[in-house]
A and B are shown apart, each in its own frame.
Chain A
Amino acid sequence: MSTAKAKGGAKASNTIRGATGDWEVVIGMEVHAQVASNAKLFSGSSTGFGAEPNSHVSLIDAAMPGMLPVINRECVAQAVRTGLGLKAAINLKSVFDRKNYFYPDLPQGYQISQYKQPVVGEGEVEIDVDGETMTVGIERLHLEQDAGKLLHDQHPDYSYVDLNRSGVALMEIVSKPDMRSSKQAQAYVTKMRTILRYLGTCDGDMEKGNLRADVNVSVRKPGGPLGTRCEIKNVNSIRFIGQAIETEARRQIDIIEDGGKIDQETRLFDPAKGETRSMRSKEEAHDYRYFPDPDLLPLELTQEWVENLKQHLCELPDEKRARFIKDYGLSAYDAAVLVAERDSADYFEAVAKGRDGKLAANWVINELFGRLNKEGHDIEASPVSSDQLGGIIDLIASNAISGKIAKDVFEIVWTEGGDPAEIVETRGLKQVTDTGAIEKAVDEIIAANPDKVEQAKAKPSMLGWFVGQVMKATGGKANPAAVNEILKSKLGI
């Protein structure tokens, strides 16, 4: 795997072929991540999901007359932690602005957001695509309020509104237009989700809408000037992000190649039809009349407070991966697989501690993850604990069981539970390392198969047949290394 860092360059593999030649896609993303917090950004209401409509609404969230916002410090801390995780500049002074527009899901008639002075400035995220590592620049991260939700299926003539989400804190994380393919965009969102989940600043649950992305797409001839971009709003799965980009890029190329031009507009992706549709043109775009919210003072943080958050920041996926490679001798690929989720990485470390790291990684990735994927379980719901898997690996390491038997033990632990050492003991699965017993079995097989013995002398690879016979005779419990050794000496090969 190459570790060379590429930044945005047009690579042949990233271009799309059109009638007039190759095109390059330029992608920037705005990720909206719901801040993991108990209370909303400016009110004490709960942020719990799935409650009865309008049961988590305070007087502030409903914008009653005379109500005032008060900043929730924990939401600010979460935004700063995220900024630190993105290796970004933290702005010690930032300002909340009002973004003014009318809609029934927006009780105040404005969204409190950060416009000119966000809490987090420039940062970066490393992503791996096709074995290559590249950096995607972060433009900014700001805090803002989420809106409520309109319900159109409750009454024949009216729409209803649920304000439970109204006022919930969101982080809008804006990337630079550094991505050049749908794969890169998908890798970026996947990595962003991993970082947020590591930090505990967003649960990353895309199904609940807690992580969603607006995707800016434009196309150009490689090396040419930037094209006009379209923004695809609210794409809520990593798969759809890929599809939306492919579809939109193709649409734009077709228009340009047919002699048309791209209108800057906001579009929606319809996964069912596999197309993007115009939502509103630039002319129809709102004039949001941003201005600093006079109900809130500028948000001022101290360097000490930020430093304190920094010191308590968890190990991030990139650091963890580097450490796994260095400390456990893992391949870059295995390390990357293990650190994709913090729980997986923690599980691996619990297994690997004091054991052979490579062996532990093989078992966690091949046996455990394979089985979990097959059964559709998360690592938290694994029927085999890290202690149990560690126990199995200990039995292999001490030559008590072979790798093959270990898989049987894993199966027993998975379905029935129990202590691996005890299972091996009580079920008589312990490997035969007593050379006398193996020699006896070998002697018997040699005596019974003189023709095969002759063949083996001419063709040493026949050894495998003998090994199989010995294993059969010992019920698979013979130590394979010992069997090999004894066979070789007795057969004289």
Chain B
Amino acid sequence: MTDLTKLTLSQARDGLAKKSFSATELTNAFIDRIEKANAAINAYVLPTPEHARAQAAESDKRLKAGNARPLEGLPLGNKDLFCTNGIRTTACSKILDDFKPPYESTVGQNLWDAGAVMLGKLNNDEFAMGSSNETSAFGNVVSPWRRKGKDGKRSTDKLVPGGSSGGSSAAVASDLCLAATATDTGGSIRQPAALTGTVGIKPTYGRCSRWGIVAFASSLDQAGPIAKTVRDSAIMLKAMASHDLKDSTSVEAPVPDYEAVLSKGVKGLRVGVPKEYRVDGMSKEIGKLWDDGIAWLKAAGATIHEISLPHTKYALPAYYIVAPAECSSNLARYDGMRYGLRIEGDNLIDTYEKTRAAGFGKEVRRRILIGTYVLSAGYYDAYYLKAQKVRTLIKRDFDEAWNKVDVVLTPTTPSPAFALGEKSGDPLAMYLEDIFTVTVNMAGLPGMSVPAGLSSEGTPLGLQLIGKPFDEETLFRTAQVIEDAAGRFAAPDEWWMKG
């Protein structure tokens, strides 16, 4: 039998439907692979094989009975930001200790109700704060990708899988699951997808319920999938999205059948290319990647239009005010009083301080401090309020753009995957990873990263598509054209399987 873990989600779905293999066989193949590879990749912080086998057995019954659900028997990874009923959920922070929520996130529940199988909880940057998955309390994730040296051989230097959804991107890229849940506050789905040759979509704010997902920055957080192909990501998002009365910011809008639009092509589609994204010092290869994307879409019948998004340059600084401000408040609940870590102190204040000092990592502490500062009396107007005004202007930029174009094409990241430790000592360099992605969160728009080529180092690069609110369909059909033209990219050698 072929290696089942190499299948795409849609191929596995078809194989199960044709009874080429059972859900249990498929699940076991992944469980075995995780056992072999996880030590090297560290994508899973908590594999849940027993849970997965039980779900797979149920799926096999349904498949046999002919009442399979849309994702019946398909094994997925679940980012540790998603609360899982009775299964440890930590947001990869020490502060949650061995917290086991008595509830399941709405997005997770939607997936399990659709028949999907959960293989385990995936690593991420602590509280989703990071762009390299190096801030996790469970240690960094290692990308399955390695740089190609001048001699043409692959280096053994470890690369980051991006972040914060680094466990999700690495697990998908190294075939440790068919697809994974992820979240994106400033680029945490799209950047790791770009750095690992996978597809990631952050849908419109309000498309997926935030209920039961550990919050980072409430006005920016949005769940979405990381998958192997555009089709797989379409299947995943359809299952994850829903209107949820438990989330006041969830939007009541019908969820279309995204898979059905993949073959529609881009003939006549107006594609915008924002001039402000040609930032100083953009590498030649990123420039070429972008040009390739433009050429592919043009060849498929789209028209290309230069557009201006004049407030782009303020997006990153404004983001690093809004997101920390919200996080400083959202993380106040981790106080050692009701659940999670508690370090006893001499009195209440001492207990708070000891608990939070021991529970939060350096990057999380940094952002809580920044957020507390920008909301303080006397600074609120100068920072938080001004950042909110910038946000309004960024939204307006896009509103203007939608008069001229249907979708916007940009690179996902300014550079390919970097080495472990390369940027972790320099927060500002790390924050620049989000330069092309944060505007999308600030404007609440859907954004998608699709693999489009390899860097001179042989590592993946992604193109980003930005759409109108609730127009994920245009992103999917445009991404399909790029995927068809660029091909798919798999990490070579499978070194992580060799112990």
Contact = CB atoms under 8 A, between A and B. Distances in A.
Contact of A100 (B89, B335, B339, B375): B375
A236 B352 CA distance: 31
B375 A64 contact: no
A102 B335 contact: yes
Nearest to B81: A66
Contacts of B335: 102, 104, 109
A296 B376 CA distance: 21
A107 B248 contact: no
B333 A69 contact: no
Given A64-B101, A65-B83, A104-B348, A296 B248 contact: yes
Interface in A110-159: 110
A108 B218 CA distance: 14
A289 interface: yes
Contacts of B333: 63, 65, 107-109
B253 to A, nearest CB: 15
A102 B353 CA distance: 11
A252 B89 CA distance: 55
Contact of A63 (B247, B338, B380): B338
Contacts of A161: 337
Interface in B313-335: 325-326, 328-329, 331-333, 335
Given A100-B375, A291-B375, A62 B338 contact: yes
A161 to B, nearest CB: 7
Nearest to A286: B377
Q: Among the interface residues A66, A67, A69, A109, which one has the most CB atoms of the partner chain B within 10 A? A: A66
Contact of B101 (A63, A65, A71, A100): A65
A63 to B, nearest CB: 4
Interface stretch (B39-47, B150-158, B205-213): B205-213
Interface string B30-49: 00000000000000000000
Contacts of A67: 211-212
Interface residues of B, number: 42
Contacts of B103: 59, 64
Contacts of A296: 248-249
Chain A interface SS verdict (over half): loop
A291 B329 contact: yes
A98 interface: yes
Interface string A281-306: 00000010111001111000000000
B380 A295 contact: no
A70 interface: yes
A370 to B, nearest CB: 53
Contacts of A481: none
Contact of B214 (A65, A109, A295, A297): A65
B444 to A, nearest CB: 12
B218 A295 contact: yes
A68 interface: yes
Nearest to B377: A287
B338 A289 contact: no
Given A64-B103, A66-B210, A287-B376, A104 B337 contact: yes
A64 B213 CA distance: 10
B354 to A, nearest CB: 13
Q: Among the interface residues A65, A66, A107, A289, which one has the most CB atoms of the partner chain B within 10 A? A: A65
Contacts of A98: 329
A296 to B, nearest CB: 5
Nearest to B247: A68
Contacts of B402: none
B177 interface: no
Contacts of B331: 109
A61 to B, nearest CB: 11
A295 B247 CA distance: 8
A165 to B, nearest CB: 16
Interface string B77-101: 0000001000001010000100101
A98 B380 CA distance: 13
Interface in B428-476: none
Given A65-B89, A104-B348, A291 B384 contact: yes
A117 to B, nearest CB: 14
Interface of B: 83, 89, 91, 96, 99, 101-103, 105, 210-215, 217-219, 245-249, 325-326, 328-329, 331-333, 335, 337-339, 348, 352, 372, 375-377, 380, 384
Interface of A: 59, 62-71, 98, 100, 102, 104, 107-110, 161, 287, 289-291, 294-297
| In the complex, the 6 A-B pairs of residues with the closest C-beta atoms, listed nearest first | A109-B332, A294-B219, A289-B375, A294-B218, A63-B333, A66-B212
